[in-house]
């Protein structure tokens, strides 16, 4: 049985930014996960979001399928994803709804798909409010990330990562049923997130695990897993692939999974991705002659598209 990992706690309201940056660097190099406190997102709003999460997934399948995923927004039914292609399962046991940037795109307007106000009154305004508050927390956190990498705090603004920002809010439901077949069952099979950082809120039900061996041997066997416990009032923060590429693997994107526990589980993930036109390339502070860049420069949008194709099989 997996044990619980004791993760660092980062205080976003700390007045000593240099100290916070040092703590973030330590957390990212030693764990790849940490808890974020005093993030500025209202607890009452978070509770409304978790309640709205349950309300959406309690709708009948026909109603949810009206919002089926397109343009990386909308509803994904059970078993739509298979994050670990080597797993023998038919797909991951979860359903979700993606909400992307709230601003209109130049050619397509706003691409988000929303349940009607008749079906879920006030639901959209709650999610938009939460999206804005988490976005602000993420921007402040990424200023500290830049400082942790010995860069100016505005680095990610200056390279176009926030011009405009490209965050995705994802509401998730994991069924409580474990099933009775011999098939492997995962709520979310082993994977790393695609973007810069992820800010996760949960309902307190266990299931999230991180791989202890990823820092040294990311995809090698054997893997050792530890539970990431829920801490009230915090976000769970983990590193994504884009940050790994920028930092030349100094900050590793964190291998993690969600295991079924027999209890229904709800969570709310905010994926902080760079603007699709931002070019992600190794930072000068993270490479030298003995440690040359491990990844070629890549447009953020191209990387994300490729990862989505692998995940959804199209």
For the segment 192-246, what is each residue's pLDDT rounded down to a tens digit? 999 999 999 999 999 999 987 655 555 556 778 999 999 999 999 999 999 999 9
Q: Please state, for a pLDDT cut of 90, what percent of the chain lies above it.
A: 74
Q: What is the mean pLDDT of the chain?
A: 91
Residue 126 falls inside a structural domain:
yes
Residue 152 falls inside a structural domain:
yes
Q: 166-180, 248-262, 268-282: which has the minimum mean pLDDT?
A: 166-180
Residue 4 falls inside a structural domain:
no
- Give the count of domains, the chain: 1
The answer, yes or no, to whether residue 309 has pLDDT greater than 90, is no
Query: How high is the pLDDT of residue 106?
Result: 63
Helix axes 17-30, 123-148, angle to 10 degrees: 90
Tell how far CA 250 is from the center of its chain.
19
Phi, psi of 117 (to 5 degrees): -65, -25
Question: Could you tell me the residue range of the domain that residue 245 belongs to?
Answer: 9-312
The answer, yes or no, to whether residue 34 has pLDDT greater than 80, is yes
pLDDT, mean of residues 248-259 = 92
Residue 118 falls inside a structural domain:
yes
166's enclosing H/E stretch is strand 166-174
Query: How high is the pLDDT of residue 33?
Result: 94
Q: Which CATH number goes with the domain that contains 274?
A: 2.60.120.330
Tell me the helix, strand and coil percentages in the chain, rounded to 5. Answer: 30, 25, 50
Give the global pTM. Answer: 0.93
Residue 1 falls inside a structural domain:
no
For the segment 60-108, what is each residue's pLDDT rounded down to a tens digit? 999 999 999 998 999 999 998 878 766 667 788 999 999 999 987 766 6
CA pair distance 314, 298, nearest whole angstrom: 21
171's enclosing H/E stretch is strand 166-174
CA pair distance 312, 304, nearest whole angstrom: 12
Residue 60 falls inside a structural domain:
yes
Residue 3 falls inside a structural domain:
no
Residue 227 falls inside a structural domain:
yes
Query: How high is the pLDDT of residue 179?
Result: 63
For the segment 130-156, what is each residue's pLDDT rounded down to a tens digit? 999 999 999 999 999 999 999 999 999
Query: How high is the pLDDT of residue 220?
Result: 58
User: How confident is residue 4, by pLDDT bands cut at 50, 70 and 90?
Assistant: confident
């Amino acid at each position: 049985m997996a044990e619980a990992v004791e993760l660092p706690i980062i205080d976003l309201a700390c007045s000593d930014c240099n100290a916070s940056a040092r703590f973030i660097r330590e957390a990212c190099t030693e764990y790849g996960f940490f808890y974020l406190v005093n993030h500025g997102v209202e607890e009452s709003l978070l509770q409304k979001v978790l309640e709205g999460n349950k309300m959406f997934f309690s709708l009948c399948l026909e109603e949810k399928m009206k919002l089926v995923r397109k343009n990386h927004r909308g509803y994904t039914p059970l078993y739509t994803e298979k994050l670990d292609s080597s797993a023998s399962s038919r797909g991951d046991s979860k359903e979700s709804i993606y909400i992307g940037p709230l601003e209109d795109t130049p050619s397509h307007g706003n691409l988000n798909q929303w349940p009607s106000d008749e079906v879920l009154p006030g639901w959209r305004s709650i999610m938009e409010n939460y999206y804005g508050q988490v976005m602000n927390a993420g921007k402040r956190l990424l200023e500290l990330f830049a400082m942790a990498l010995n860069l100016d705090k505005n680095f990610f603004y200056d390279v176009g990562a926030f011009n405009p920002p490209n965050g995705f809010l994802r509401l998730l439901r994991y069924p409580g049923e474990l099933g009775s077949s011999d098939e492997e069952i995962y709520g979310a099979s082993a994977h790393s997130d695609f973007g810069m950082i992820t800010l996760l809120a949960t309902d307190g039900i266990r299931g999230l695990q991180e791989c202890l061996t990823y820092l040294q041997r990311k995809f090698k066997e054997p893997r050792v897993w530890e539970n990431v416990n829920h801490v009230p009032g915090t976000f769970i923060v983990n590193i994504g692939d884009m940050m790994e590429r920028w930092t030349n693997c100094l900050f590793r994107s964190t291998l993690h999974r969600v295991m079924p526990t027999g209890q229904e589980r709800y969570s709310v993930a905010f994926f902080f991705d760079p603007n699709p036109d931002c070019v992600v390339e190794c930072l000068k502070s993270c490479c030298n002659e003995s440690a040359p860049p491990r990844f070629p420069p890549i447009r953020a949008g191209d990387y994300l598209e490729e990862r989505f194709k692998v995940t959804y099989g199209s």
